[in-house]
Amino acid sequence: MAKFRIEHSVKSDNPSTRLDMFLKSLGVRLSRTRIIELIDSGRALVNGRISKPSYKVKQGDHILVEYEVLVKTDLKPEDIPLKIIYEDDQIIVLDKEKGMVVHPAKGNREGTIVNALLHHTKISGGDSERPGVVHRLDKDTTGVMVFAKNEIAHQYLANEIEKRAMKRTYLAIVWGGFVKKVGRIDARIGRSNIDRRLMTVTDINSKEAVTTYRVLKNFKICSLLKINLLTGRTHQIRVHMHHIEHPVVGDKEYKKNVYLAIKDLPVDLKKHFDTIDNLIDRQALHSISLTFRHPSDGRFVSFYSPLPEDFRRVLDYLWNLEKEKN
C-alpha cells in the first residue's frame, strides 16, 4: 500500500473544471468513483474545507489530498532502445522517434515508451497505467519529452504544466501561406461525434485549448511554423491547424481542409502537392524543445531535439522550390 499526499495551489482559472476531474488531472491515481468517495470522506480539502465533487475549481484555491492506493500494474518491462537526452534521479528526457506510442492503453499493452522505461529504470508517479507520464506526443510526432521518475517529480511537473510554466515548442510544416506572422488559436477541443478516434473544435463536451504560433518562413506552397502549447489536448496542434485551414503536411487524419489552403495557388505550384505529401509518411510535426523548472531545485533547464531526416527532407524540397523562377 502506497501513501500519497498532494498539496496544490491553483494558479490559473478553471471555471468549468469540477473538483473530481481536477484531482484526476493532478495525478490522483484512483478511479473517478474512488475520487468522489475521497472528496465525500473529507480527504480532499479545498481551502481547508470539505467540498462537493461538483465544486468548480477557482484560481487561488488551495487543495490538499491524502490517500492510499494499492499500486498494481501488469505492464511489462521491455528491452526497447531509447534515445536518452538527459537523466538523473528525478527525471528522464527522451528524443522520441516516429512510430512510438507513449504509454499502454486498451488493446495496446506492449511496445510503448513506458514499457521501455520500466526496463531501463525505476519509474513511477501519476497513473499506475501510465507511470511517469507528464505529457504526451502522438505516435508519429517526434522530438523531446520528459518523464518523471517518482511521485514528487510527477506532481511538480504536472503543476508546472497546469500553471503554463513549462514551455513546449514545436516546429511544423503546414499547407498554405500566412499574411500575419504571429497568431493565437483559442478554440475548445473535444471528441468528434463523426469519428470517435479523432478530435475536433467544438463547444460540446470540450476543454479549453490554446495554441500560439510564429511564421518562420512562408514558402511557395507551405509554411514553417514555430508553435507553443499553452494547453495540452489530444492532437491539439493538428486539430488547431486543420481548424484554421492550414493542415500539417503529411497528416493523414486531419487533412479535410488541405485543398482550401492551396486553392489560390497557380497550377504550376499545385503540381508539387503530391510530391511534397509523399516525402514524409507522417505529420510534419516535431517537438524541438522543452524548458521547465527542475523538480529538485527549481532551476530552469532546457532540452532540444534535432530535426529528424524526413522533416529535413521536406524542408530541403521547399527551399529548392524557392530557387526556381516564378
**Residues with catalytic function:** 138
Pairing state between β 44-46 and 49-50: antiparallel
67 vs 44: CA distance, rounded Å: 9
230 vs 136: CA distance, rounded Å: 14
DSSP 108: B
Residue 241: what are its φ and ψ, rounded to 5°?
-65, -40
Measure the CA dihedral 102/285/199/11, to 10°.
70
C-alpha pair distances (Å), 232 with each of 91, 115, 172, 188, 225 = 20, 23, 16, 11, 18
C-alpha pair distances (Å), 320 with each of 174, 178, 317, 325 = 17, 20, 5, 11
